Structure 1
Amino acid sequence: MQTVSLTKILSDLARGDLTDFRGELAELVIRIAVALSIFVGSLLIAKYMRSGLGRILDRGRVSKDPLLRNFFLRATSITISVLGFLIALTHVGFDVTTFVAGLGVTGLILGFGFKDVLSNFAAGLLLLVYRPFRAGEVIEVEGTQGTVTELTIVNINMTTTDGVCVIMPNSKVWGAKIINYSLSQRRRAEFTFKVKREQLKLAMGVIESVLEKDERILKTPQPITRVTGVGDGAATFSVLVWTKPEDYQAVVGDEYAQLLAAFNSHQLDIL
C-alpha cells in the first residue's frame, strides 16, 4: 500500500484533485486512528505488564529490595511505551529508520540536552548494582541526611527527620561520599557539658541516673563519661552513649531536654 503523507494530501488539495484528496485523507485518518490505538494499547500493556511483573517479583528475592523492584518495573514500563510510540509512528508513515539515523547527525545537539539524563540513568544502574543503600535506610549525602524512600531512573528521594522530601540526581549521589548510618547495628551519640569544677562529680551522677532510665540507650557498649577540659574553675566533659540508628535523632533530642531539666532540679549551673 502506498504511504499517504500530509504533504501529498495538501498537494492534491492545491491542485484541486478532490477525488485523490478525499481518498488519501480518509486513509490517513484511519492510519492515525490505528496508530493511536497502538499507542494506547502499548500504554495499557505497560500498565498490566508492570502490575503482573510486580506480583511475580513480590514472590521472589527482589521483593526484599523495593529500590530494585521499583526501578526495574519503571524501566520496563517506559521501554514498552516507547516501543509502542515508535510502532505507532511507523504505521502513520513516519520513517523511524530515518529518524534514528538522523539522531547521529543531531546527536551532538541532543547530547548536550540529554547528557544529564543519561548520566543519571547510568548512575542509577550503578547504585542498584553496588547497593550502597536500600529503601528505609538512613544516609547522608553532601550534608543532607534522610531516609531513602525511592530510587527512580534519574534521582533518589529521601525524607529528612523534619519531614522534608529531598530529591537528588543519581549522578550527584553516585559521585559523592555516601554515609550509611543503617549499615551499622549501633550509632554513637555524644553529649557535652561545661559545669563548675566543684559540681563535676554531682553532674556526672545526675547524667548517669537519667541515662539509665532510657531503654533506647544500649547497655553494651557501656556509656562513657570523660573529662575533656579543665580551666578557670570549670570542667568540660562528654558523655558517649550508643543507640540503634533509627533511635539516634530521638535519643539526642530527648536526652538533652531531660538532662537540662535534671540539672535545673539539682541546681547545677551549665556554663
Structure 2
Amino acid sequence: MKAKFALIALTCATVALTTQNSMAQDPASGFNPQNPWTVELETGPAWFKRNNVRIPNDIGTRFDMLNLTDNGPDPFLRLYATYEFNERHALRLNIAPLEASGNGVLPNPVRFQDTDFAAGADTRGRYKFNNYRLTYRWMFHRSDTWHLGLGGALLVRDAEIALRQGNLQDSDDDLGVVPLLHLYGAYHLTPRTSVIAEFEGAAAPQGRAIDLNLKVQHHITPDWHVYAGYRTLEGGADNDSLYTFAWVHYATFGVGIRF
C-alpha cells in the first residue's frame, strides 16, 4: 500500500513538474511546433463614441448617425485564426463584423445620396462596417519576458450606410481593400499570464484606420487561454465622394485554443 501511494505521488509530481517546465520553456504566447494553429473567439459590449456622415461630400448634409442608432452598448463578435510557421513568422485571419441600426429623428433636414429626408420625422438608420483582415507578423524579438513583432495587414471592408423614412430610402455601400501597419508587443508577467498590446492602422490625407487593442491573457493549460481587455476602433474617409468617420470602444472577453 505504501509503495502504491509512493508511486501515485511520484507520478503526480512528475506530471506537475513536466507541466511547469513546459510552461516555463514555452511562455504564454510562445510557439509550439506540434500545435501551430490558434483559434480565438472574442465578444463583449461595444459603444459608439462618434459616427458622422455626409454623402455625397460636396452637396450632401452632414449628420450624426447616433441620433438614429444610439451609441450602444451593443454586443459584438470577432473570430481569429492564426497559423505559426515557426517562432518568427505567422499569418492571422480576422473576421470582425460591426453593425448598428435603430430609429430616431433627424434634428435638421438631410440630403443623403439623391434623397432629401425631413427633420423631426421617424427615421431608421443602419450602419455596417464588416471587415476581414489577413495579417502577417514577424516576431523579431523573443525572450522569456518580451515578445515583439511587426508586420502588415490587408483589410477588406464591406461597408454600408442606409436611411429610411416612410417610403423614402437610400443607401451607400462600399467594398475596398486597405493596407495596414501591424505592431505587436507582449510582456510575460508569468509563464502563464501576459499583457499584450496590438496596433493595426494606416493614415493618408483621404482618411485613416486605427485599431488598438490592450488585453491581459492567461493560459489555463498550455493549449487553452482566456483574456480580457479594451479595444478602440477609429477611422473613416474624407474624399470627393463621401465623408464618414466613426469611433468605437470595446470591452473585450475572449477564449482561445491552440491545436
TM-score, structure 2 as length reference: 0.24
Q: Which has the higher contact order (CA 8 A, sep 6+)?
A: 2
Q: In proportion to residue count, which structure has more helix?
A: 1
| TM-score in terms of structure 1 length | 0.23
